[in-house]
Amino acid sequence: MTVTKLRQNIFKILDQVIETGLPVIVERNGKKLKIVTVEPASKLENLEPHPGTINGDPEDLVHMDWSEEWKP
């Protein structure tokens, strides 16, 4: 697709990309550009690791045997 065609139908073309999920290739000055949808990143993917944290079921901590560690 040319830039001229894109400019004439930009809203229709963008809506088409959103609806179908198919990318549109636009050519300008001999270079190809791709218009695609970008899915939002999962919140879990944005989590940063925290060394030293306990990863597991909190109930396991409650029922842990601390008798050897605890000194009155």
How do residues 18-68 score in pLDDT, each as one tens digit? 888 889 999 999 999 999 988 765 777 767 888 888 778 888 888 888 788
The domain defined by 1-38 carries CATH number 3.40.1620 = yes
- Residue 68: other Cβ atoms inside 10 A: 6
Cβ-in-10-Å burial (0-12, 13-18, 19+) of 26 comes to middle
Tokens of 22: 């198919």
Domain ranges of the chain: 1-38
Q: What is the mean pLDDT of the chain?
A: 86
Per-position DSSP letters for 49-64, written without gaps between them: P-TT---S-HHHHHT-
- The confidence score (pLDDT) of residue 35 equals 93
Question: How open is the CA angle 32-33-37, to the nearest 5 degrees?
Answer: 145
DSSP classification of residue 57? -
